[in-house]
Every structure is written in C-alpha cells, then in structure tokens.
Amino acid sequence: MSHFTTFSLIAAVSLGSFFATSTFAKEGHNKGAHAQRFKQMADTDGDGKISKEEKAAFKVKMEQRKAEFFKKIDTDGDGKISDEEKAAAKTARKEHQKKMMEKRADTDGDGKISDKEKAAFKAKMEQRKAEHLKRIDTDGDDKISDEEKTAFKAKMEQRKAEHFKKIDTDGDGKISDEEKAAAKAKRQEHKAGKSSK
C-alpha cells in the first residue's frame, strides 16, 4: 500500500463519520470544501494564488503529517499497514468519537448516560440538524438546491476568512503559535464565562 493511499485511508477514517451523516455532504459538497480548505492552508500569504514556494512548503507539511499518521497506525513498526492495523485505527477513531459524544451527553458528569440525558442529547442533535438544514434551505422546500449549496459555501468561506482575520492579530496572513495559543485561551475564557452563568 502506498503512503498516499494510507494517508487517504486515515483521512477517511478521521472524517468519515461526520461527513457521512451530513446532508450537505451527501449532496457532494464535501469534496469541494476539502479542496478549498487545502488551498487556503497552502496559500500562506493570502493572495489567492499558490506559488511554487507555497506548494513546496505545503507538500513538506503534508508529507510530515502522512508520516505521523502512518507511524501512529503502523503499531508493529514494519513500515506497512496491515488489515488488522487498519481495522484497529478505525475502531480507535470510533471509540474516541463515542467517548466525546458521551462526554457531551453526560450533563451531570457522573460518568453514566441516563435515559433522561440520552433523550435530551438526541433532541439536541435533532434540533441542530434541523437548524443546519434551515440555514442552508433558504426557500424552505426541505431540499438543498445547487444555488443554496453555492450560497452556503460562500457564506462559510466568508466566516472562515473573518475567523482567520480575528486570530491573525498581526495581519501577516499567517497564524503563529502565539496567535494560536491566544485564540485558544480566549475560547477557554469564553467557555468558562458561559458555564459560570
């Protein structure tokens, strides 16, 4: 199995569960969104173009990520990903997602999910799904048209750009470790403020 195929497999395992359940993804949006995201990651100077230098730097970054992912899954260190290791990686990802969902559902923090918490969490997820559909389905016909997809994509790109600008406090078109840390601290501060109310 090539390293590229392995990386594709890992990415699929990592992102599959979210996009598989997304109405928007079922309409074929996710491929374009991924391509756009990679383009933005590569375009470090924010000029809307990918220079040779940016392409080379991005390739190195992706190779590094591939190597890290590969090492994580290749548990016996033989330089190959066996079917057992593939299955183990998929199971581990599912377990992680399950734990995260359980943590969010366990509102009283007792380590157990009661029937009441289960029902409340399910209702919350259904509500979010309905709200997400409503945001995209602007004409209210319960279907996502190509025009609505395009409009929603543009809206998300605008939000992404605004979010990037907010974090990139020195305006150099790059997110430094210091800016990342500052943004994380701000999020945690905001979260702590909400939970104390």
- Residue 38 has what pLDDT? 74
Q: pLDDT band for 196, please (50, 70, 90 cuts).
A: low
> pLDDT per residue over 59-84, tens digit each?
888 888 888 889 989 999 999 999 99
pLDDT confidence of 187, banded at 50, 70, 90? confident
Q: Name the pLDDT band for 24 (thresholds 50, 70, 90).
A: very low
pLDDT recorded at residue 193:
75
Confidence category of residue 123, pLDDT binned at 50, 70, 90:
very high
SS (H, E, C) the chain: CCHHHHHHHHHHHHHHHHHHCCHHHHCCHHHHHHHHHHHHHHCCCCCCCCCHHHHHHHHHHHHHHHHHHHHHHCCCCCCCCCHHHHHHHHHHHHHHHHHHHHHHHCCCCCCCCCHHHHHHHHHHHHHHHHHHHHHHCCCCCCCCCHHHHHHHHHHHHHHHHHHHHHHCCCCCCCCCHHHHHHHHHHHHHHHHHHHCC
The band of 143, judged by pLDDT with boundaries at 50, 70 and 90, is confident
Residue 195: the pLDDT is 62
- Average pLDDT for residues 112-141, to the nearest whole number? 91
User: What is the per-residue pLDDT for 166?
Assistant: 87
Give the global pTM: 0.41
Instruction: Report pLDDT for 119.
Output: 93
Per-residue pLDDT tens for 78-117? 999 999 999 999 999 999 998 998 998 999 999 888 999 9
